[in-house]
Structure 1
Amino acid sequence: MVEAAKEILPVNLEDEMRQSYLDYAMSVIVGRALPDARDGLKPVHRRVLFAMRELGNEYNRPYKKSARLVGDVIGKYHPHGDSAVYDTIVRMAQEFSMRYILVDGQGNFGSVDGDAPAAMRYTEVRMARIARELLADIDMETVDFVANYDETEHEPSVLPTRLPQLLVNGSSGIAVGMATNIPPHNLGEIIDACLALLDNPELGIAELIELVPGPDFPTSGLVYGVQGVFNAYKTGRGKVYIRARTHIEPLDKKGREAIVITELPFQVNKARLIEKIAELVREKRLEGITELRDESDKDGLRVVIELRRGEISDVVLNNLFKHTQLESVFGINMVALLDGQPQLLNLKSLLDAFLRHRREVITRRTLYQLRKARERAHVLEGQTVALANIDEVIALIRGALSPAEAREGLMGRVWPPGQVVELLERAGADATRPEDQTEEFGLESGNDGVGYRLSRTQAQAILDLRLHRLTALEQDKITKEYGKIVDRINELIEILANPDRLLAVMRDELTEVRDRYADERRTEIVEDYADLTIED
Structure 2
Amino acid sequence: MDIGKIQQKRITEEIKEDYIDYAMSVIVRRALPDVRDGLKPVHRRILYAMHEMGLVPSAKFRKSATVVGEVLGKYHPHGDTAVYDTLVRMAQDFSLRYPLVHGQGNFGSIDGDPAAAQRYTEAKLSKIGEEMLKDIHKETVDFRDNYDASRQEPVVLPSPLPQLLLNGSMGIAVGMATNIPPHNLGEIVGAVIHLIEHPEATVEDLMQFIKGPDFPTGGLIYDRKAILQAYSTGRGPVVCRGRAEIVEDKKGRFQIIISEIPYQVNKSSLLEKIALLVKEKKLVEIKDARDESDKDGIRIVIDLKNDASPQKVLNRLYKLTELQTTFNFNMIALVGGIQPATLSLKSILEYYIEHRQDVITRRSQFELKKAKEREHILEGLKKALDHIDEIIKTIKKSATKEDAHKNLVKNFKLSVLQADAILVMKLQSLAGLERKKIEDELAEKRKIIAYLENLLAHTDKILKMVKDELTEIKEKYSDPRRTKVYVSPVGQLREEDLIPNEECIITLTFGGYIKRMNPKIYHQQRRGGRGVTGMAMREEDSVKIIRSVSTHDYLLFFTNFG
Query: Which residue identity lines up with residue 524 of structure 1 in the other structure?
Result: K
How far apart are residue 67 of structure 1 and its match?
0.3
How far apart are residue 508 of structure 1 and its match?
1.0
How far apart are residue 408 of structure 1 and its match?
2.3
**Could you tell me which residue of structure 2 aligns to residue 187 of structure 1?**
185
Please list every run of 5 or more consecutive structure 1 residues that lacks an aligned counterpart in the other structure.
Answer: 415-452
2:6 and 2:289 map into 1 onto residues whose CA distance is 72
From 247, 258, 262, the counterpart of 1:261: 258
**Could you tell me which residue of structure 2 aligns to residue 226 of structure 1?**
224
Q: How does 1:126-145 map to 2 (within 5 A)?
A: 126-145=124-143
2:232 and 2:290 map into 1 onto residues whose CA distance is 42
What is the aligned length?
Answer: 495
SS in 2 for 1:185: coil
Query: Which residue identity lines up with residue 473 of structure 1 in the other structure?
Result: L
Q: Does residue 242 of the first structure (1) align with residue 236 of the second (2)?
A: no
Q: Does residue 384 of the first structure (1) align with residue 344 of the second (2)?
A: no
The 8 Å contact of residues 186 and 216 in structure 1, kept in 2 or not, is answered as yes
Q: How does 1:45-444 map to 2 (within 5 A)?
A: 45-253=43-251, 255-339=252-336, 340-414=338-412
The 8 Å contact of residues 39 and 166 in structure 1, kept in 2 or not, is answered as yes
2:2 and 2:55 map into 1 onto residues whose CA distance is 53
SS in 2 for 1:89: helix
**Could you tell me which residue of structure 1 aligns to residue 456 of structure 2?**
496
How far apart are residue 337 of structure 1 and its match?
0.3
Structure whose alpha-carbon radius of gyration is higher: 2
Deviation string 1:311-353 (CA, Å, 9 cap, x unpaired) is 2211110110000000011111000000111100000010011
SS in 2 for 1:135: coil
User: Kindly tell me: are residues 328 and 3 of structure 1, through their superposed partners in 2, closer, same or farther at Cα, counting changes over 3 Å?
Assistant: closer
From 443, 467, 470, the counterpart of 2:427: 467
How far apart are residue 9 of structure 1 and its match?
2.3
How far apart are residue 92 of structure 1 and its match?
0.3
1:43 and 1:460 map into 2 onto residues whose CA distance is 43
How far apart are residue 395 of structure 1 and its match?
2.1
Deviation string 1:258-297 (CA, Å, 9 cap, x unpaired) is 0000001001101010000000011011131111111111
Query: Which residue identity lines up with residue 181 of structure 1 in the other structure?
Result: N
SS in 1 for 2:132: helix
How far apart are residue 392 of structure 1 and its match?
2.0
2:220 and 2:118 map into 1 onto residues whose CA distance is 35
Query: Which residue identity lines up with residue 127 of structure 2 in the other structure?
Result: R
From 496, 501, 511, the counterpart of 2:471: 511
Greater relative CO, 1 or 2 (CA 8 Å, sep 6+): 1
1:287 and 1:348 map into 2 onto residues whose CA distance is 48
SS in 2 for 1:210: coil
2:282 and 2:296 map into 1 onto residues whose CA distance is 32
How far apart are residue 52 of structure 1 and its match?
0.2
1:468 and 1:360 map into 2 onto residues whose CA distance is 43
Question: RMSD of the alignment, in Å?
Answer: 1.3
1:4 and 1:380 map into 2 onto residues whose CA distance is 60
1:3 and 1:124 map into 2 onto residues whose CA distance is 50
How far apart are residue 35 of structure 1 and its match?
0.3
Query: Which residue identity lines up with residue 475 of structure 2 in the other structure?
Result: D
1:357 and 1:34 map into 2 onto residues whose CA distance is 18
The 8 Å contact of residues 287 and 316 in structure 1, kept in 2 or not, is answered as no
How far apart are residue 403 of structure 1 and its match?
2.0
Query: Which residue identity lines up with residue 267 of structure 2 in the other structure?
Result: K
2:307 and 2:386 map into 1 onto residues whose CA distance is 97
Deviation string 1:185-222 (CA, Å, 9 cap, x unpaired) is 00111111111111111110110011101000000000
State the TM-score, normalized to the length of structure 2.
0.86
Kindly report structure 1 stretches of 4+ aligned residues shifted beyond 4 Å: none
Deviation string 1:377-416 (CA, Å, 9 cap, x unpaired) is 10001101111122222222222222222222222235xx
Query: Which residue identity lines up with residue 249 of structure 1 in the other structure?
Result: V
From 418, 443, 455, the counterpart of 1:483: 443
How far apart are residue 3 of structure 1 and its match?
7.3
1:403 and 1:234 map into 2 onto residues whose CA distance is 69
Query: Which residue identity lines up with residue 16 of structure 1 in the other structure?
Result: E
Query: Which residue identity lines up with residue 75 of structure 2 in the other structure?
Result: Y
The 8 Å contact of residues 265 and 327 in structure 1, kept in 2 or not, is answered as yes
How far apart are residue 455 of structure 1 and its match?
1.2
From 10, 13, 29, the counterpart of 1:12: 10
**Could you tell me which residue of structure 2 aligns to residue 429 of structure 1?**
none
The 8 Å contact of residues 256 and 310 in structure 1, kept in 2 or not, is answered as no
**Could you tell me which residue of structure 1 aligns to residue 480 of structure 2?**
520
SS in 2 for 1:240: strand
1:466 and 1:396 map into 2 onto residues whose CA distance is 16
How far apart are residue 251 of structure 1 and its match?
2.5
1:157 and 1:127 map into 2 onto residues whose CA distance is 20
Relative to total residues, which structure has the larger helix share, 1 or 2? 1
1:498 and 1:225 map into 2 onto residues whose CA distance is 42
1:126 and 1:290 map into 2 onto residues whose CA distance is 46
The 8 Å contact of residues 242 and 327 in structure 1, kept in 2 or not, is answered as yes
Deviation string 1:392-449 (CA, Å, 9 cap, x unpaired) is 22222222222222222222235xxxxxxxxxxxxxxxxxxxxxxxxxxxxxxxxxxx
How far apart are residue 310 of structure 1 and its match?
2.9
Please list every run of 5 or more consecutive structure 2 residues that lacks an aligned counterpart in the other structure.
Answer: 502-551, 553-562
2:321 and 2:22 map into 1 onto residues whose CA distance is 38
The 8 Å contact of residues 185 and 214 in structure 1, kept in 2 or not, is answered as yes
2:406 and 2:264 map into 1 onto residues whose CA distance is 72
1:320 and 1:128 map into 2 onto residues whose CA distance is 37
1:466 and 1:366 map into 2 onto residues whose CA distance is 32
How far apart are residue 177 of structure 1 and its match?
0.3
How far apart are residue 154 of structure 1 and its match?
1.1
SS in 2 for 1:413: helix
Query: Which residue identity lines up with residue 80 of structure 1 in the other structure?
Result: H
**Could you tell me which residue of structure 2 aligns to residue 424 of structure 1?**
none
1:79 and 1:471 map into 2 onto residues whose CA distance is 57
